């Protein structure tokens, strides 16, 4: 019996690797950009559609590679317009992406890993543990496939790496994907200002990200003292607040750009008057803005969301101290809103 070897997803190749393969076939390097345009701009599903490539090259591509789509396992749409996509990967694992409608555009929140190893105490994804990194093609596939489903794909202008996983723990694949997301010639052509990577605080990778890209950085802070942050986010034991904030001060921000600090407000844990005062003091030397995120309560977690009065008071204190502080209420609360819930239900992951 002959067992066919699965063809590699061509989206997993970066430009250098594809150009090297093309050179081995006696083809010019510019063919790589032609292939990317067909895949990412024109949404081609087969190499036969690539009419500006020779027939022989199309046949060789088809014999060597696949242009995979992610399998849409589940799709939910909320009353507020948010849409959650549960994608099944080739190995049967699942990831989530969320499309968030804004007034005149849309933002897509994408995953970078299957699960997450950071074990943040407030995060639902952490309950399922970590399984593996996503490939470059699986990261890009989320954007490509959601755009393919949109009636008006041009409304998708923003990409945030805030889904399942810690993006900087899958550094190389994430940055390779970012380069293609930014590529105006052959990729998606997103603006640098419209792509945001959110990190729990992997300091060495943050410094590399600042050198290799000019995208926006968001740091999940969530506490103003080391004891509280270590309790909420174990990564703080490796990179305590002093180390993290020093890396933020050194981060090579472009003119008129700021680091976004995400601060999940949890009742009785980090929502007091002194927390707001310390937060303002900690961030004073950094060009920053603050996203206040009321905790999204979910089954199996003992944390609770503060009252609306407490949330508004916390915001007012920061504004009075000269900060831009925006309350980011989670959308899609009626469709398994917490990241990882849809995957957990599908895979039978126990909630603890």
Question: Mind telling me the catalytic residues?
Answer: 96, 339
Q: Which residues contact 307 (CB under 8 A, 6 or more apart)?
A: 267
d(CA 343, CA 341): 5
DSSP E strands in 3-147: the ranges are 8-9, 65-66, 71-77, 83-88, 94-101, 106-109, 113-115, 130-133
d(CA 259, CA 246): 13
Facing residues of 218 across strands? 198, 260
d(CA 323, CA 221): 16
Q: How many residues does the chain have?
A: 352
Q: What is the DSSP letter of 188?
A: -
d(CA 65, CA 99): 29
Nearest to 159 by CA among 125, 187, 120: 187
DSSP-H helix ranges across the chain: 15-24, 31-36, 55-64, 136-149, 171-182, 203-212, 226-232, 241-250, 273-283, 308-320, 341-347
341 within 8 A of 84, measured Cβ to Cβ: no
Q: What is the DSSP letter of 2?
A: P
d(CA 324, CA 343): 34
d(CA 271, CA 265): 6
DSSP 206-269: HHHHHHH---EEEEE---SSHHHHHHH-GGGGTS-HHHHHHHHHHS-PPTT--EEEEEEE-TTT
């Amino acid at each position: 019996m002959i067992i066919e070897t699965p063809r590699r997803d061509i989206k997993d190749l970066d430009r250098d690797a594809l150009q090297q393969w093309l050179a081995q076939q006696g083809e010019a390097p510019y063919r790589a950009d032609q292939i990317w345009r067909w895949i990412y701009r024109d949404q081609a599903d087969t190499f036969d559609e690539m009419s500006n490539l020779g027939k022989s090259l199309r046949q060789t591509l088809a014999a060597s590679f696949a242009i995979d789509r992610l399998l849409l396992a589940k799709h939910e749409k909320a009353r507020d317009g948010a849409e959650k996509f549960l994608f099944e990967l080739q190995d049967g694992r699942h990831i989530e992406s969320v499309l968030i409608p804004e007034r005149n555009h849309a933002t897509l929140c994408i995953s970078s890993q299957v699960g997450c190893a950071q074990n943040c105490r407030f995060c639902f994804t952490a309950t399922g543990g970590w399984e593996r990194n996503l490939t470059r093609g699986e990261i890009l596939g989320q954007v490509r496939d959601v755009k393919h489903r949109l009636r008006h794909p041009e409304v998708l202008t923003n990409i945030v790496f805030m889904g399942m996983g810690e993006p900087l723990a899958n550094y190389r694949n994430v940055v390779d994907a970012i380069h293609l997301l930014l590529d105006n010639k052959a990729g998606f052509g997103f603006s640098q200002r419209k792509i945001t990577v959110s990190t729990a605080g992997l300091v060495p990778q943050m410094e590399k990200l600042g050198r290799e890209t000019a995208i926006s950085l968001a740091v999940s802070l969530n506490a103003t003292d080391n004891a509280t942050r270590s309790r909420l986010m174990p990564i703080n034991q490796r990179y305590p607040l002093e180390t993290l904030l020093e890396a933020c001060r050194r981060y090579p921000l472009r003119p008129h750009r700021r680091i976004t600090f995400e601060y999940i407000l949890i009742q009785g844990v980090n929502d007091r008057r002194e927390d707001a005062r310390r937060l303002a003091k900690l961030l004073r030397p950094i060009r920053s803005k603050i996203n206040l995120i009321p905790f999204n309560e979910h089954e199996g977690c003992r944390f609770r969301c503060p009252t609306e009065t407490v949330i508004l008071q916390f915001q007012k204190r920061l504004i009075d101290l000269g900060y831009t502080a925006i309350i980011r209420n989670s959308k899609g609360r009626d469709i398994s809103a917490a990241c990882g819930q849809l995957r957990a239900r599908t895979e039978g992951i126990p909630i603890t």
